[in-house]
């Protein structure tokens, strides 16, 4: 069997990055003086006066939806989506205000749609935001009968002088990690190809090394890291943060690094959920490809001043760990 890559599963990260560059140029042409951030950060900021800014972000759950559909479980992907979006604006120190959703389908029953929205409501209660509206679009011919798409849009608020973009990150700073519990909401096309297409497994297949079925491992709910920020806010010198989503550690941590700063991350510092070893073995996937497609156990990063690292670890509590440090050098992320 040929080695499986993310591109062979249908996801081309490099092409996606090129598209984002073109999108950024077009989006920038619409900016007014109220726009406080550039395209490429985890959220966009808009000045609303009185020293405050709104922060917004949009995302989806990807092909995790297909696993949920196979399992007949519809009330968890909404939680995933809300947690993901809340984590993205948390990177810039924002607290959620409200959330909107989009559900695209062709023939879902009202009961299934209600289950999906049940998950969204649970997630919004978790983050303390209102689910104020959305769109449910029925489009036969676009979506297969038993499939759907789910997208979320979040808006939060932050004081302008408390917004964190990573600009204050400097050599000598320490990178503290919070663990992942699985794939979260990224890498499912590659995972499905390795587990279901190559290995011919099914979601209900029980795997002893996981202690659960494939479906249960793949549907673990994306953790909410917002509460960890709230535990640290005002009590530690947070220089920057990163939510590890599509593109892995390298593709996400670099988004908040200023010029002249290079992150060195110990790739074995995070506890790696066993699902990743299973995917790699069954798909014969290169380690570098795994780190490009998956979080590999790294869920979220806090970059703090070196003198504040012990204090931050204490405040973040069990599970937090030293992941690496910031050194002087070309802007980027190095896995060591």
Q: Is residue 209 part of a domain?
A: yes
Look at the chain and report how many structural domains it folds into: 2
Which residues make beta-bridge pairs with 319? none
Closest CA to 122 of 144, 142, 101: 101
Degrees, nearest 5: CA angle 205-71-152 = 130
Task: Please check whether residue 124 is in contact with residue 82, taking contact to mean a CB–CB distance below 8 angstroms.
Answer: yes
Which residues make beta-bridge pairs with 206? 213
Which residues make beta-bridge pairs with 325? 174, 264
Q: Is residue 19 part of a domain?
A: no
| Residue 20's pLDDT band (cuts 50, 70, 90) | confident
Residue 10, pLDDT above cutoff 80: no
Mean pLDDT of 271-287: 96
First vs last C-alpha separation in the chain: 29
* Domain around 264: 174-335
Rg (CA), the chain: 20
> Are residues 330 and 184 part of one domain?
yes
pLDDT at 152: 98
> Are residues 245 and 133 part of one domain?
no
**CB neighbourhood size of 283 (10 A):** 24
> Are residues 224 and 111 part of one domain?
no
Closest CA to 93 of 335, 256, 215: 256
pLDDT at 62: 93
> Are residues 317 and 189 part of one domain?
yes
Last residue of a domain, one of 134, 162, 190: 162
Task: Please check whether residue 75 is in contact with residue 221, taking contact to mean a CB–CB distance below 8 angstroms.
Answer: no
Last residue of a domain, one of 136, 162, 188: 162
Q: Is residue 17 part of a domain?
A: no
Mean pLDDT of 292-298: 97
> Are residues 272 and 300 part of one domain?
yes
Which residues make beta-bridge pairs with 133? 100
> Are residues 128 and 76 part of one domain?
yes
Question: Rounded to whole angstroms, how far apart are CA atoms 211 and 232?
Answer: 33
> Are residues 40 and 156 part of one domain?
yes
Task: Please check whether residue 262 is in contact with residue 334, taking contact to mean a CB–CB distance below 8 angstroms.
Answer: yes
> Are residues 83 and 155 part of one domain?
yes
> Are residues 302 and 229 part of one domain?
yes
Summarised one tens digit per residue, pLDDT across range 137-182 is 999 999 998 899 999 999 999 999 999 999 999 999 999 999 999 9
Query: pLDDT exceeding 70 applies to what percent of the chain?
Result: 97
> Are residues 196 and 106 part of one domain?
no
**CB neighbourhood size of 264 (10 A):** 16
* 231 torsion bin: left (phi>0), alpha (psi -120 to 50), beta (else): alpha
Residues in the chain, total: 336
What does pTM read for this prediction? 0.94
CATH number at residue 184: 3.90.650.10
**DSSP 8-state secondary structure symbol assigned to residue 194:** I
> Are residues 325 and 251 part of one domain?
yes
Last residue of a domain, one of 162, 192, 216: 162
Summarised one tens digit per residue, pLDDT across range 107-124 is 999 999 999 999 999 999
């Amino acid at each position: 069997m040929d080695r499986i890559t993310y591109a062979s599963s249908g996801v081309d990260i490099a092409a996606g990055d090129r598209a984002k560059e073109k999108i950024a140029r077009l989006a920038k042409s619409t900016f007014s003086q109220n726009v406080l951030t550039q395209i490429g950060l985890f959220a966009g900021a808009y000045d609303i006066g009185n020293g405050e800014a709104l922060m917004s972000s949009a995302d989806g759950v990807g092909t995790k939806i297909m696993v949920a559909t196979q399992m007949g479980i519809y009330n968890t992907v909404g939680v995933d989506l809300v947690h993901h979006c809340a984590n993205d604006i948390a990177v810039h120190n924002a607290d959620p205000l409200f959330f909107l959703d989009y559900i695209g389908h062709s023939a879902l029953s009202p009961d299934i749609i209600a289950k999906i929205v049940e998950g969204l409501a649970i997630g919004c209660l978790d983050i303390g935001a209102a689910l104020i509206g959305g769109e449910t679009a029925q489009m036969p011919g676009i979506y297969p009968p038993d499939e759907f798409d789910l997208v979320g849009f979040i808006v939060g608020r932050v004081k302008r002088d408390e917004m964190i973009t990573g600009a204050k990150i400097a050599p000598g700073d320490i990178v503290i990690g919070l663990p992942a519990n699985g794939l979260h909401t990224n890498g499912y096309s590659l995972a499905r190809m390795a587990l279901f297409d190559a290995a011919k497994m099914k979601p209900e297949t029980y795997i002893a090394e996981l202690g659960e079925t494939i479906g249960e491992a793949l549907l673990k709910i994306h953790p909410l890291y917002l509460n960890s920020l709230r535990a640290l806010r005002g009590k530690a010198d947070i220089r920057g943060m990163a939510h590890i989503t599509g593109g892995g550690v390298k593709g996400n941590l670099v988004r908040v690094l200023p010029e002249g700063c290079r992150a060195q991350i110990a790739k074995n510092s995070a506890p790696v959920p066993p699902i990743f070893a299973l995917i790699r073995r069954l798909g014969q996937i290169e380690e570098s490809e795994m780190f490009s497609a998956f979080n590999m156990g790294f869920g979220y990063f806090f970059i703090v001043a070196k003198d504040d690292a012990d204090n931050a670890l204490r405040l973040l509590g069990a599970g937090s760990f030293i992941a690496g440090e910031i050194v002087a050098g070309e802007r980027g992320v190095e896995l060591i």
